[in-house]
Structure 1
């Protein structure tokens, strides 16, 4: 988000009075209460399609898809390869509530929302696909295994 903040009109969205920052990560000209079309939230996922969030806010989402590659071949010499970036505009209706497994005694995950039918919803939002990486057997992999 640091790079986007430095080269675009979208600036860090900070609330100086709270430790946990609120949605969105960036907003047009840094507005504290931007309308959805001026909100940009950043998400990273190693999942192929699924996208989760703690909230079901409408707005723009930049989704960084990455793979842990212990062979360091997808991105030469690196263990983490960003293989795809999506930029969808999601409406509140695009999200579904996913119940928490956290119990009264603590532990477990917090409540989340997931995108409904993510492969359908996100298929036209790809803005970057790493060269030399293809989708095979449900996972990103090198073209021709090279």
Structure 2
């Protein structure tokens, strides 16, 4: 785990690669359960939310960022984490939102707030061979500071008489925005055809 980190990527004040490394290990270990993998195949969007929540929990334990202690606030308000000791109202530089995605570039949110974002890019490996013994592999971690103008509104297809996604915001040109924001890249995976694939599987 000591390899794969890029020291040139800007990080939120006080957050370091060692804390991110421990958070990756914690999250992969916590999700290394067949029941979680069954959930992934049934509800992939729910699984992404769970990965993001474990990332939040890990950073709350191993870094100088803490989550909201009131469970209602933690579930409904931005940010997921704030720098310990930061005074209210929070400055964007003291805010850290935890996201997870199986897609290589996209970032989606229900808000378009300014602040720091950490994105846990993961894949699920039922064979547990990409990273030996792990069902879930966090293959890249992006860290980026976003402002309101980086977001675009993506609307909603939900309706009273039908299902559909609620309104969201997405980052404009995410591949360009995140080009130099990968603080961690697992050496055993690379992008091919827009998808993360194992190098040893070629």
Of Structure 1 and Structure 2, which has the larger fraction of its residues in helix?
2
CA 19–57 in structure 1, closer or farther in 2 if over 3 Å, else same = closer
Q: TM-score scaled by structure 2?
A: 0.66
Q: In 2, Cα distance between the equivalents of 1:22 and 1:53?
A: 12
Q: TM-score scaled by structure 1?
A: 0.90
Q: In 1, Cα distance between the equivalents of 2:118 and 2:91?
A: 17
Gaps of 5+ in 1: none
1:20 aligned onto 2:75: yes
- The SS at the match of 2:120 is strand
Instruction: Name the structure, 1 or 2, with higher relative contact order (CA <8 Å, separation 6+).
Output: 2
Of Structure 1 and Structure 2, which has the larger fraction of its residues in strand?
1
Asked if the contact 1:15–1:21 (Cα under 8 Å) also holds between the matched residues in 2, the reply is no
CA 144–77 in structure 1, closer or farther in 2 if over 3 Å, else same = closer
Taking the TM superposition and a 5 Å limit, the aligned residue runs for 1:1-146 are: 1-15=56-70, 18=73, 20-29=75-84, 31=86, 33-105=89-161, 107-145=163-201
Gaps of 5+ in 2: 1-55
Query: Following TM superposition, by how much is the alpha carbon of 1:15 offset from its aligned partner in structure 2, in angstroms?
Result: 4.2
